[in-house]
Copies of this chain bind each other. A is one copy, B any other.
Amino acid sequence: MTQDAPLDITHAIGERLTRLGQTLATAESCSGGLIAHRITNVPGSSVYFLGGVVVYSNAAKMDLLNVPETDLAKHGAVSEVVAQRMAEGVRIRFQATYGVGVTGIAGPSGGSPDKPVGLVYIAVAGAAGTFVTRNVFPGTRQDVKEQTAENALNMVLERIA
């Protein structure tokens, strides 16, 4: 007897959300749509994936997700607070069980000593509150995007009750 292959993370998320009748929405900055792309590669994902936004500009973060201008001004777009506000904002906007918010610096430019290329905040909001992580991912722009998506999907899977 061979062991079953472990379920791919996006399929595992889908299986769990479908079983629980729960839903998901995404708010992406530096990952640029890759999280939504990976989620929607799964057949049947339209049952639990309500949609998402890719918000590169501060204007879009405010308009689409109701991120307060004061938080953007005080903490910057790449910050724990803004990731949290994005996750909570997209959860409300789509009326989803879970909201994912990602903001970071994919590079190769845009970094600074305080906020280096690869710095990414990932937040997952749900009924039980919002959980945020700070990450610094190595590699190219595409490496940063891929690690951001992988980590965000893992966080979602962990938070699903």
A43, B143: Cα distance in complex, Å: 13
Give min CB distance, A50 to chain B, whole Å.
6
Q: Residues on A close to B: CB < 8 A?
A: 26, 28, 32-37, 39-41, 43-46, 49-57, 60, 63-64, 93-94, 106-110, 141-142, 145
Beta-carbon nearest neighbor of A49 in chain B: B56
Given contacts A35-B33, A43-B108, contact A54 B57 (CB under 8 A): no
The distance in angstroms between the C-alpha atoms of A32 and B54, with both chains bound, is 11
Once A56-B50, A60-B50 are accepted as A-B contacts, the answer to whether A32 and B26 lie under 8 Å apart by CB is no
Residues B56 and A54 in contact, CB atoms below 8 Å apart = no
Q: Are A52 and B53 CB-contacts (below 8 A) given A32-B40, A36-B32, A141-B43? A: yes
**Is B54 a contact of A51 with CB atoms below 8 Å?**
yes
In the bound assembly, the distance between CA atoms of A110 and B36 in angstroms comes to 19
Residue of chain B at shortest CB distance from A40: B32
A33 close to B46 (CB less than 8 A): no
Task: Give the complex CA separation of A55 and B32 in angstroms.
Answer: 15
